[in-house]
Amino acid sequence: MAGGFGPSVGIERGMKTHLGPSRLPILLLAATIVLVSIADWLLDFTSAMMVPLLVEEGWDRLKAGEISWKSLWPLITMVTHAFLHSGPQHLLWNMLLFWIFGSVILEICGWRWMLAIFIITAVGGALGQMMIDRGGMIFMLGASGTVMGFQGAYLGLVVQKARPNPFVWPMASPIAPSHLAAFGVIAILMDMMGVLRQSPGDQIAYGAHIGGFVSGIFVSFFHKG
């Protein structure tokens, strides 16, 4: 009888965690991204998108001693671009993965680390894209870099220490950490192949994915919990 109740109790506890206040920070962050993305479609926040050339020019101005909004704003877009999306499909797919991996990061690290990883991997994703598209004028937007950042951070956390099986909707049941981390590994391998095969008309920011993933792994090793 005890054996029969074991799995259901585990799932019930997982559901309580999912519905409880512990998931509120990632829900609020995801809701902010959704609302800003929708506002962008209505009001046009193009200036909040990241453009490699503008960031490079802003950095050059700062190094030259020109501290102004014109110098600082392009650098700020290295974070703001993560709140914008090109359309509903782009937004929904990113938010699904954002919720899953952001939730497990939140559960392991807490909301401060989750927010720090979000910001750092947004910048890391921007830098990754800039390395591939140096001097480029193509606008970059989307939370894909931070999604990959969460995946990279989770991989780093799993490598450091054994973790419990996470249960996050819409996963039907708790999943082994190694399996969830493997999803990120497969995704980054596909992005690396995408860089090698990228054509001029390809609008996917593979560099942002790779930059986010690598910076996520890097940050995870500073967390000792």
Task: Report yes or no on whether pTM surpasses 0.75.
Answer: yes
Could you give the CA distance from residue 121 to residue 113 in angstroms, rounded to a whole number? Answer: 12
Residue 120: alpha-carbon gap to chain centroid: 9
Could you give the CA distance from residue 102 to residue 201 in angstroms, rounded to a whole number? Answer: 31
Angle between helices 144-160 and 206-220 (to 10 degrees): 30
SS3 content of the chain, % helix, strand, coil (to 5): 75, 0, 25
The CATH code of the domain at 2-220 is: 1.20.1540.10
Per-residue pLDDT 10s for the chain (225 aa) are 333 333 333 333 443 444 445 889 999 999 999 999 999 999 999 999 999 999 999 999 999 999 999 999 999 999 999 999 999 999 999 999 999 999 999 999 999 999 999 999 999 999 999 999 889 998 999 999 999 999 999 999 999 988 888 888 777 678 888 888 998 899 999 888 887 787 766 678 889 999 999 999 999 999 987
* Of 177, 128, 164, 173, nearest in space to 148 by CA: 128
